[in-house]
């Protein structure tokens, strides 16, 4: 099983490896560009895909391109994404890490609901083990849902006990704030954080800073702003033309440049889009391609000194220099892009 073998032969020399590697939880080496399985089920992340063979082909191609981390959840489908992963990839390559999430469920009306009770989390982990055909899960995130009445400590404590029992290798958290991350780390070592973060929404900057400082992997969900950052008129479009790449590739390369602990997990059900996304691993945005002209000096100052005024929490210098080049267009689009997120969805 993938969970039981040492990680000494991670994929190198393949496209995804161009992003470099990061060590998850002190012992799992993964390439820094992963794949998210949320787009594999049918519309609305519900039911079977229109073409299951294509979904399995996407998964196989992701691994062939050097992806060594796949993110999934039992509530994707529900159960559909997990089953497709097992059908396509089991027995798993020894370097493949499968990360999953618990803490949410789907209602009969296709709604996204919190289910953070310890007994529910245990049942979800056991279901994941069965569907994914694993003896131990490499990484399980507790997905905090707004409005949950279960104390965070109880939910994270349940995963800590499952870790002690050997059913989970590493514990992560998702959709948390900095105070909740501190609380979780008092209970169990946290190997990774999954939060909303992309070029047009950086409200989790404080969490990214903590992860970068403390060596915790940060997996941004919705890395392409639900496709908005891949559009020809989106903020990255200017640089895309300069580098002869797509806007989506610029947005992913920007994320990779923000922190050595960053592991984007873009999802797609398209083989062509998968190839495009993984090719971003080799794209490096040069500092010298980010000149700050007199006209843009004020824009950069806004990013660094008054980030909240344009939707940016306080930014790191490197990310801010990249963002400054097209910050004016970003400001015009931020509200529309951010409002498109449905935060009741357990990404």
Q: Which residues are catalytic?
A: 76
Beta strands in 25-82 (DSSP E): 28-31, 35-36, 69-71
Alpha carbons 220 and 265: distance in angstroms, whole number:
7
Q: Which region, left, alpha or beta, applies to residue 285 given φ > 0 means left and ψ of -120 to 50 means alpha? A: beta
- Using DSSP's 3-state secondary structure scheme, residue 23 falls into strand
Alpha carbons 205 and 213: distance in angstroms, whole number:
12
Q: What is the pLDDT of residue 314?
A: 35
Assign 3-state DSSP to the chain and report helix, strand, coil percentages, each to 5: 45, 15, 40
Q: DSSP character for 43?
A: G
What is the per-residue pLDDT across 5-20, written as a single tens digit (0 to 9) for each? 334 444 567 899 999 9
Task: Say how many residues make up the chain.
Answer: 347
Cis, bond preceding 82 (omega within 30 deg of 0): no
Residue 120 in this model has a pLDDT that exceeds 70: yes
**How does the average pLDDT of the chain come out, rounded?**
83
Instruction: Give the rounded distance of the alpha carbon of 302 from its chain centre.
Output: 28
Rounded to the nearest 5°, which phi and psi values hold at 76? Answer: -80, 100
For residues 189-200, give the mean pLDDT. Answer: 93
Q: What is the pLDDT of residue 230?
A: 64
What is the per-residue pLDDT across 264-323, written as a single tens digit (0 to 9) for each? 999 999 999 999 999 999 998 877 543 322 233 333 333 433 333 333 333 444 454 444
Alpha carbons 343 and 346: distance in angstroms, whole number:
7
Q: What is the pLDDT of residue 335?
A: 40
- Range in 158-167, 240-249, 311-320 with the lowest mean pLDDT: 311-320
Q: What is the pLDDT of residue 228?
A: 61
Collect all residues with Cβ–Cβ distance below 8 Å to 43 and sequence separation of at least 6: none
Q: What is the pLDDT of residue 170?
A: 98
- Using DSSP's 3-state secondary structure scheme, residue 281 falls into helix
Alpha carbons 159 and 153: distance in angstroms, whole number:
10
Q: What is the pLDDT of residue 322?
A: 47
H/E stretch holding 58 reads helix 52-64
For residues 324-333, give the mean pLDDT. Answer: 41
Residue 174 in this model has a pLDDT that exceeds 90: yes
For residues 161-171, give the mean pLDDT. Answer: 98
Alpha carbons 70 and 76: distance in angstroms, whole number:
13
Q: Residue 212 — pLDDT band, cuts 50, 70, 90? A: very high
Bridge partners of 196, per DSSP, are: 221
Alpha carbons 56 and 241: distance in angstroms, whole number:
33
What is the per-residue pLDDT across 94-113, written as a single tens digit (0 to 9) for each? 999 999 999 999 999 999 99
CB 330 within 8 A of CB 235: yes
Q: What is the pLDDT of residue 316?
A: 46
Alpha carbons 227 and 249: distance in angstroms, whole number:
12
Instruction: Give the rounded distance of the alpha carbon of 258 from its chain centre.
Output: 14
Residue 325 in this model has a pLDDT that exceeds 80: no
Residue (of 137, 126, 190, 193) closest to 168 by Cα position: 137
Q: What is the pLDDT of residue 297?
A: 31
Q: Which region, left, alpha or beta, applies to residue 140 given φ > 0 means left and ψ of -120 to 50 means alpha? A: beta
CB 47 within 8 A of CB 77: yes
Collect all residues with Cβ–Cβ distance below 8 Å to 338 and sequence separation of at least 6: 200, 201, 311
Q: What is the pLDDT of residue 259?
A: 92
Residue 334 in this model has a pLDDT that exceeds 80: no
> What order of strands is seen across the sheet that includes strand 168-174?
35-36, 69-71, 97-102, 137-143, 168-174, 190-196, 217-221
Alpha carbons 246 and 226: distance in angstroms, whole number:
15
Q: What is the pLDDT of residue 143?
A: 97
Identify the structural domains of the chain with CATH numbers, from first to last.
2-227 (3.20.20.100)
Q: What is the pLDDT of residue 226?
A: 65
Rounded alpha-carbon distances, angstroms, from residue 63 to 74, 85, 93, 310 = 20, 11, 9, 38
């Amino acid at each position: 099983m993938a969970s039981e073998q040492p990680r000494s032969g991670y994929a190198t020399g393949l496209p995804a490896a161009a992003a470099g590697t990061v060590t998850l939880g002190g012992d799992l080496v993964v390439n820094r560009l992963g794949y998210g399985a949320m787009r594999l089920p049918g519309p609305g992340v519900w039911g079977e895909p229109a073409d299951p063979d294509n979904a399995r082909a996407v998964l196989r191609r992701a691994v062939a391109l050097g992806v060594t981390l796949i993110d999934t959840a039992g509530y994707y489908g529900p159960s559909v994404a997990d089953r497709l992963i097992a059908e396509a990839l089991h027995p798993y390559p020894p370097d493949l890490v499968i990360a999953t999430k618990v803490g949410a469920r789907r209602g009969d009306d296709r709604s996204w609901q919190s289910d953070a009770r310890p007994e529910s989390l245990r049942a979800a982990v056991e279901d994941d083990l069965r569907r994914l055909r694993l003896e131990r899960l490499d990484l399980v995130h507790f997905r905090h849902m707004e409005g949950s009445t279960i104390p965070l400590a109880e939910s994270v404590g349940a995963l800590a006990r499952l870790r002690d029992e050997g059913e989970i290798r590493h514990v992560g958290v998702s959709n948390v704030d900095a105070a909740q991350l501190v609380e979780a780390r008092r209970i169990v070592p946290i190997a990774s954080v999954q939060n909303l973060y992309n070029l047009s929404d950086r409200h989790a900057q404080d969490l990214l800073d903590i992860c970068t400082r403390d060596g915790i992997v940060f997996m941004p969900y919705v890395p392409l702003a639900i496709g908005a950052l891949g559009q020809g008129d989106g903020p990255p479009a200017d640089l895309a033309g300069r580098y002869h790449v797509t806007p989506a590739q610029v947005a992913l390369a920007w994320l990779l440049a923000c922190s050595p602990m960053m592991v984007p997990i873009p999802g797609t059900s398209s083989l062509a889009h998968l190839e495009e996304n993984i090719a971003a691993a080799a794209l490096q945005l040069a500092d010298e391609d980010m000149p700050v002209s007199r006209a843009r000096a004020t824009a950069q100052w806004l990013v660094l000194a008054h980030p909240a005024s344009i939707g940016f929490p306080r930014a790191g210098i490197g990310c801010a220099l990249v963002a400054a080049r097209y910050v004016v267009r970003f400001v015009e689009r931020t509200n529309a892009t951010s409002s498109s997120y449905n935060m009741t969805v357990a990404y």
